[in-house]
Structure formats: C-alpha cells, structure tokens
Amino acid sequence: HAMPLRPGAMLLGGFAAPDAPALLEDLRRVEARAPFRNMVTPGGWPMSVAMTNCGSVGWVTDRTGYRYDPLDPQTGEPWPAMPETFRRLAGRAAEVAGYRGFEPDSCLMNRYEPGSRLSLHQDRNELDFDAPIVSVSLGLPATFLWGGATRADRPMRIRLFHGDVVVWGGPARLTFHGVDTLSGGESPAGERRYNLTFRVAR
C-alpha cells in the first residue's frame, strides 16, 4: 500500500490505522497541557484550523510572523515532549519511504472541524529542507490540495483518510499545498480531523 504520488511524495494508505487508538490517547495527553488554539496570522486573521505542538520546538504564528518556538506562547511553558507512539510511527513511516534515521524535533498538530480549511502555502520555516516531513491523518477524511512549485500551479486533489500517512521529501518538499473545507460526518476521532506533521525544524 505504498504509492508514490509524484517524485518525493509517498502515500502510505492506512499505515497508522493500527496505532490510531494509541495516537489519539496520546494526543489527548498533549492537548491537556497545550490546548488547541486558533492562532492569528501575520495579517491579523485567526486560522480556522486549531493547532498545538509537541516536541522540543513548536510552530507558531502571531502578528509578528511565523516561527518555531521552544515555549508555548499561551502558557509560557515548554511544549509537551513528543510521545513515544508518535516518534516511533514517524520513524517507521520515514523508513518505509526510504529515509533512514528520521529524528523529528517537532510535531505540529492540526485540528479541523467542519468548515475549517488551510489555504495554499509552502512549509519553509524549517532550517533543513533535506529532511522529509511525515504527515499522519486521523478522523474525518479531507481533500488535500497539492500544487506545484508556484502558487499558480493548479492543485491536484487527493482524499486522505483516517490512518493515512504521507512522507514528503526531495522535490516535493517545497511544493504548495493546502486542505479544502472539511465536511461533517462521524469518525473514530468524532466530528473532526487531526493531522500530525513531524518535522526536523532545527
């Protein structure tokens, strides 16, 4: 069930499904200490996707810009440690996709509710673009939008389901991508979708 989408991107359909209950349980533990919140973009608008982080640094946005920060600006505390279940799954997925020794220092956790969307963007706040990004989808299905090297490239639409894992590296690492407006429904995670993205940020 490993399928290359385009050079550099590997879809591992259902790869995380057996681990999903444990991942969701650890997600609850992280959010108890670092709650999901709708961060504000530099333009001043709150995002419709709620976010939190675990690991030694976390991705944040506010009026001053985007950055990786070792502290949760909402609590002033370090982000919760990355749970072993998260770390192991990310390492195994990277290995299947051909990346040995993937050691993420950050996991951005996104929570989508019906109506939430993520507009087209690039992930370029990390220092090392040679390291892949591993993303894990849990809960409701979503339509992932996958563009090209410029914002003008018309995106491909890919449905991502509960338990799907995608490993993005090489020529796919800096492509534009986003998530279309989430629809309602029931799922093992309730009426929402979570996405965990594992990164080497520093």
Q: Which residues contact 172 (CB under 8 A, 6 or more apart)?
A: 5, 6, 7, 8, 9
Q: How far is the CB of 109 from ligand MD3 (least distance, A)?
A: 9
The owner of tokens 């419709």 is 48
Smaller CB separation from ligand MD3, 19 or 108:
108
d(CA 179, CA 41): 17
Site size with Fe ion, rule: CB under 5 A: 1
| Rounded least distance, CB 84 to ligand MD3, Å | 22
Q: Cβ closer to ligand MD3: 61 or 85?
A: 61
Tell whether residue 126 is a contact of Fe ion (CB under 5 A): no
Structure tokens at 145: 């939008």
26 versus 123: smaller Cβ distance to ligand MD3: 123
- Report the C-alpha dihedral over residues 119, 125, 131, 135, rounded to 10 degrees: -30
**Residue of 72, 105, 123, 126 that binds Fe ion (CB under 5 A):** 123
Is 1 marked within a binding site? no
Q: Is the dihedral of CA 43, 158, 15, 98 positive or negative?
A: negative
CB of 71 to ligand MD3, least distance (A): 20
* Nearest in space to 119 (alpha carbons), one of 181, 61, 171: 181
Binding site for ligand MD3 (CB under 6 A): 108, 110, 118, 123, 133, 135, 166, 168, 172-173, 175, 177, 179, 195, 197
Strand partners, 46: 40
The distance of closest approach from Cβ of residue 179 to Fe ion in the complex, given in angstroms and rounded to an integer, is 9
Which residues lie near Fe ion (CB under 5 A)? 123
